[in-house]
Amino acid sequence: MRDNSFKQIAAYLIAAGVLVSCTHQPRDNRSSSLSLEQQQIETLLSGLTLEQKAGQLSLVAIGGEPSDEDIDLIKRGMVGSIIKANGAANNRYLQELAVEHSSSGIPILFQEDVIHGYKTISPIPLAEAASWDLEAIRLSAEVAAREATAAGIHLTYAPMVDVTRDPRWGRVLETSGEDLYLASVIAAARVEGFQNGSTNSADNLLTCTKHFAGYGAALAGRDYNIQDFSERELREVHLPPFQAAIDAGTPCIMGAYTAYNAVPATANIELMQTILRGEMGFQGLVMTDWETIPNLVKTGVAKDDYDAIEQAMAAGYHIDMASKRYATLLPQLVREGRISEQQLDDAVRQVLRLKQQAGLLDDPYRYFDTQREQQKLLSASNLATVKDVAAKSMVLLKNHQKLLPLDGTLSDIAVIGPLAKAQEDLLGWWSMAGDPDDVVSIYQGLQNALPNTRFHYAPGVTLEGFEKHGAALIPQAVEKVKQADMVIMVLGEERWMSGEGGSTASLHLPGLQEQLLQAIAETNKPIVTVIVAGRPYVLTDIAKHSDALLMAWMPGTTGGDAVAEVHTGAYNPSGKLPITFPIHQGQVPLFYSYRSTSHVFDAGADNNRYTTTFRDVPHEPLYPFGFGLSYSEFSYSDILLSSPTLKRHGSISAQVTVENTSDVPGREVVQLYIRARVSSVTRPVKELKGFILLDLAAGESQVARFEITPQMLEYLGPDLKQRIDNGEYELFIGSSSAELQNSTFSLTD
Ligand code: BGC
């Protein structure tokens, strides 16, 4: 705590009755059983008017200079939390208004979308998921927390744990992909990373896990689009990552824009009360997404804003994001008896508890130290951490004749493509205070890593939205390539093309990029293509015309250096796809864990007409879930089971020996999948149940050993109740969802 603020803080604490709480004599039996923390909250609550209570539930957007109206709102105690105000000095000023000049004196909770970094930007979450490296992901969230808290932010709207199977949905970039198991373990790692292992340190960024639930099912991948998905899908696919985040200690959940069972999440009592609080045991704070209270009127489930508020309160929403409806209309509803004061008080308690968890009730200013902010932002160690996860996120999809890593003797390399020198586009949609000028472009990264190489650059085509412009630039690019030994193409999408509101119907690279590559391929020079994108694109033609193909995603501030490390072999790629890459966009949604059907496609059969496949495109994806190449080669032994029989109260082990048969050290992500031979409902053909990262020296062998427990076999029966059936199971271990050794075991009493 800084000296000059101590007097003010002490005055605040006394005025608010906080300091007395330690010696405070309980007034009734209820308070006598309260913890010190609860007493602190009750003391504050008892000093608030109806209007001030409603103000605590209001999350107001104040970006840039606060207007006179904003200042007035804060002074009237109508602002409980703020979104979009960042920076230690700026937020200190706003906090002073709230603590010293407002009628309630209660500190503001500053909230923000710190999704994958604040100033030092990590790769997009989908990219990080491709690392399958939970520790690297946790450390990346820690960097974001360290920087955001130093810049005066207390809570982030992350992790986003929605599962999606539709790459047209722009928000796929913010997910961990298509699989609920991978999404769940990553959700827990991110909560732990942001919250820094504790809920009471100044580096602790509280998490608000989102969007509860089923937002990722948006129909046709169009953002915000409502889909009538089943209760089974809700429970099997969408809820598990939320449960993982809750178990990891997330104190806040944000509701989805979308609906479940046709009732918008903002009004959905079954979803938010029965399931979230009742079944999943969540006891923390629930907030709306942006203006979803008035959205209830727009979608036609509430007749006016008052009705909307009643419904949102009944569904258990404690904070109203951005709409100011709670702040302005709730007191009247309480006076009219349409909402009880008890309901209002419970919501305020949740907000105060969050402020307490952030430490604000003890020291409202502890996040606003400008010196600390300067030291933490963009520090060398933060940059090193995000470069590490960026390198681990890259997925090598093709490497014909081992074109990569580059031969150190190459003297001339052409770097072609509209994203070769891009900086802003490497940051991704949620780049907060990330400054494009701080970003290492891929061109720059290659130059840094290969100082003795001559580079020949041309953009090849322009990216002007989705228009097919810039054909006149192609010949110039071809000329550059002719002067070089080989070419690195940097293709992909611009930052704004994915992210929120960034859905696309086409999954082909925008503009004339496919045509550009085709023209370059005619030079017959070896081609490495690097893809910068927030979603899986249909890379079928791109792969055909490239000797090597690297998925770099939107790799963040240090992205160019990470791409260069992969090119030179300083980092041997180890990423594996967290989402299927289709061979044709008409295959979408396409995912590895589809349900068994009667008309199974059999690649070896002569006549596959009467199967669940298309007549005009192959059945398989271009690149399956879990796929990714390395410069090393790994060989897998057969699976060794400790027993072919698993008892209901026991466990068995399944192991493989993986050998690095190459002469370069490398990392393999060993994946475990299970399938039940017979179940009471149709089940996925396989489900990811575990994975192990092996770092193998050249020629080294290591054992990957999985413990198999009956809980891994649990599923929802026809009545949607959890069950585990005795019977036969197939077990698969391998390097992707499509390259697997298999074995069988049975479960018995
Ligand atoms: C998004 C949320 C985000 C919020 C605040 C909404 O439109 O759906 O994910 O946290 O805005 O920016």
pLDDT digits (tens, 9 = 90+) for 504-549: 999 999 999 999 999 999 999 999 999 999 999 999 999 999 999 9
User: Is 634-748 the same fold as 391-587?
Assistant: no
Can you tell me the mean pLDDT for 595-607? 86
Q: CB–CB of 122/556 below 8 Å?
A: yes
pLDDT-based confidence at 622, cuts 50/70/90? very high
Ligand 1 lined by 113 (C-beta under 6 Å) = yes
Q: Following CA atoms 456, 457, 460, 462 in sequence, which dihedral angle do they give, to the nearest 10 degrees? A: -170
pLDDT at 671 over 60: yes
pLDDT at 11: 40
Residue type, 480: K
pLDDT at 705 over 80: yes
pLDDT at 28: 47
Show the tokens assigned to 231.
Answer: 């209760």
Ligand 1 lined by 290 (C-beta under 6 Å) = yes
pLDDT at 1: 30
Q: pLDDT above 70 covers what percent of the chain?
A: 95
User: Using a CB cutoff of 8 Å and minimum separation of 24, what contacts does 198-202 make?
Assistant: 199/249, 199/251, 199/357, 200/357, 200/359, 201/359, 202/149, 202/359, 202/366, 202/367
Q: How far is the CA of 476 from the centre of ligand 1 (A)?
A: 42
Can you tell me the mean pLDDT for 482-495? 97
Ligand 1 lined by 224 (C-beta under 6 Å) = no
Can you tell me the mean pLDDT for 635-654? 98
**Would you identify the CATH topology of the domain 634-748?**
Immunoglobulin-like (2.60.40)
Q: How far is the CA of 158 from the centre of ligand 1 (A)?
A: 10
Ligand 1 lined by 289 (C-beta under 6 Å) = yes
Query: Which stretch of 99-103, 518-522, 705-709 has the lowest confidence by average pLDDT?
Result: 99-103
* Average pLDDT score, the chain: 94
Domain residue ranges in the chain: 391-587, 634-748
Q: For residues 118 and 87, give the distance between their C-alpha atoms in angstroms, rounded to a whole number.
A: 11
- Distance, C-alpha 686 to centroid of its chain: 24
Residue 601 vs residues 180, 480, 546, 623, 741: alpha-carbon distances, Å: 25, 46, 29, 18, 20
The predicted model scores a pTM of 0.95
pLDDT at 591 over 50: yes
Q: How far is the CA of 211 from the centre of ligand 1 (A)?
A: 9
To test the pocket of ligand 1, the residue of 116, 266, 289, 498 to mutate (highest count of ligand atoms within 8 Å of its CB) is 289
Atom of ligand 1 nearest to the CA of 215: 8
Residue type, 520: I
Q: How far is the CA of 320 from the centre of ligand 1 (A)?
A: 12
pLDDT at 200: 58
Q: CB–CB of 620/729 below 8 Å?
A: no
Residue 87 phi/psi, 5-degree rounding, is 105, 135
pLDDT-based confidence at 32, cuts 50/70/90? low
Tell me the CA end-to-end span of the chain in Å, nearest whole number. 61
Residue minimizing CA distance to atom 7 of ligand 1: 290
Ligand 1 lined by 500 (C-beta under 6 Å) = yes
pLDDT, tens digit, 9 for 90 and up, residues 295-329: 999 999 999 999 999 999 999 999 999 999 999 99
Atom of ligand 1 nearest to the CA of 210: 9
Ligand 1 lined by 291 (C-beta under 6 Å) = no
Q: Following CA atoms 149, 152, 155, 159 in sequence, which dihedral angle do they give, to the nearest 10 degrees? A: -50
Burial status of residue 630 (CB atoms within 10 A of its CB: 0-12, 13-18, 19 or more): buried
Can you tell me the mean pLDDT for 477-498? 97
pLDDT, tens digit, 9 for 90 and up, residues 175-195: 999 999 999 999 999 999 999
Atom of ligand 1 nearest to the CA of 257: 8
pLDDT at 203: 86
pLDDT at 419 over 80: yes
Q: How far is the CA of 206 from the centre of ligand 1 (A)?
A: 16
Q: For residues 155 and 380, give the distance between their C-alpha atoms in angstroms, rounded to a whole number.
A: 24
Ligand 1 lined by 179 (C-beta under 6 Å) = no
pLDDT at 602: 84
pLDDT at 197 over 70: no
Q: How far is the CA of 394 from the centre of ligand 1 (A)?
A: 27
Question: Could you confirm whether 162 is annotated as catalytic?
Answer: no
pLDDT-based confidence at 202, cuts 50/70/90? confident
pLDDT-based confidence at 603, cuts 50/70/90? confident
Q: Find all residues with CB under 8 Å of 93, minimum gap 6, and list them.
A: none
pLDDT at 23: 30
Ligand 1 lined by 157 (C-beta under 6 Å) = yes
Atom of ligand 1 nearest to the CA of 84: 12
Catalytic hit among 70, 133, 289, 320: 289
Atom of ligand 1 nearest to the CA of 160: 9
pLDDT, tens digit, 9 for 90 and up, residues 243-299: 999 999 999 999 999 999 999 999 999 999 999 999 999 999 999 999 999 999 999
Show the tokens assigned to 421.
Answer: 């020198």
Sequential DSSP letters for 351-383: HHHHHHHTTTTT-TTTT--HHHHHHHTT-HHHH
pLDDT at 22: 31
Q: How far is the CA of 655 from the centre of ligand 1 (A)?
A: 43
User: Using a CB cutoff of 8 Å and minimum separation of 24, what contacts does 44-48 make?
Assistant: 44/16, 44/17, 44/18, 44/106, 44/352, 44/361, 45/345, 45/348, 45/349, 45/352, 46/17, 47/16, 47/17, 47/104, 48/77, 48/104, 48/106, 48/348
To test the pocket of ligand 1, the residue of 257, 290, 431 to mutate (highest count of ligand atoms within 8 Å of its CB) is 290
Which residue is listed with tokens 């963009």? 378
pLDDT-based confidence at 464, cuts 50/70/90? confident
Q: How far is the CA of 336 from the centre of ligand 1 (A)?
A: 32
CA-wise closest residue to 735 among 699, 684, 694: 694
pLDDT at 607: 75
pLDDT at 20: 32
Residue 486 phi/psi, 5-degree rounding, is -160, 175
Q: CB–CB of 687/594 below 8 Å?
A: no
pLDDT at 186: 99
Q: CB–CB of 118/148 below 8 Å?
A: yes
Can you tell me the mean pLDDT for 212-238? 97
CA-wise closest residue to 117 among 377, 416, 436: 377
Identify the CATH assignment for 391-587 out of 3.30.1360.10, 3.30.930.10, 3.90.420.10, 3.40.50.1700.
3.40.50.1700
To test the pocket of ligand 1, the residue of 113, 153, 266, 295 to mutate (highest count of ligand atoms within 8 Å of its CB) is 113
Can you tell me the mean pLDDT for 409-430? 96
pLDDT at 449 over 90: yes
Residue minimizing CA distance to atom 12 of ligand 1: 113
Ligand 1 lined by 210 (C-beta under 6 Å) = yes
Residue 501: other Cβ atoms inside 10 A: 12
pLDDT at 608: 82
Ligand 1 lined by 691 (C-beta under 6 Å) = no
Residue minimizing CA distance to atom 11 of ligand 1: 290
